[in-house]
Structure 1
């Protein structure tokens, strides 16, 4: 069985090379609206979406991401950060930061599901995306609170994920084989 929704799910890939052109406002509105319609525990909808398209702010976020990556015990990532043109979000023109009310029932899962829904919405519109993990560690940095204010993250909220969005600058790769033995059906 196949329909448009399943085709989008099966064909979506993480994009790590973006064109510099900004995504259209109507597409952005659709992507963010899709995130707002994601399921959430007891329909708490604990999320807040911060859409960043300002180049100076994206550069500031990238600088802070470099600091995060240098703290992680991953020599390959630390080496990658040293590249002159390093971008934690692959030079995407749009970054969507998903924060959530830390006192809500299941904010980390709800926010992740909202971001995943936005990835699928973007793919259905021909827009590429990629999960960006580093921003979740901003609260651990001395500069973190100031950046959270710049991002207008509501008080008491925490960043649970972010995504790079833009038009892909290359062909999407074919899917890698799926892990075998990952499904058990009990009838």
Structure 2
């Protein structure tokens, strides 16, 4: 509740209702159609599917996640305002959106493959390899998000990003060999990296 209140205040100042979140383009769209069920629930969903008010609240929560030690990630107000006026978002905010989107996709893929043990076609395993390569780039977004954080958070966030990227590379082996158990174990580890990173960003000081 505290984080949401802070986010709402920030969103009011910078005009969160004016934010238009660009949809994330995933090269593995065929994979997504095969292995993911249902729509995306992240803040980047189009206005046709979400109300303007809901999108504003999503952006408010997003902004609140960037608070560390009383300082916001928007270090240059004039640049942030310009980005809003142009209908875009600050680069770090966009990176955060992609991490959230990546976490949702990662969990969906893990659940779908777990539910379909022994029933995945060769093409789906190939698409999973493409998905993993795409997920590797989420690690770059993690690095970008914590780049200007205070030292402790930067080091922890960078370490998580590094471990996650190494994992996506290592997962190519069980995926290529269609090792179901090996893939599931690694996928769960990846899910924990995502959660550790989100928890790191959620560490809002009590005084805020």
Q: Which has the larger radius of gyration?
A: 2
Q: More relative contact order in 1 or in 2 (CA 8 Å, sep 6+)? A: 1
Specify which structure has the higher proportion of strand: 1
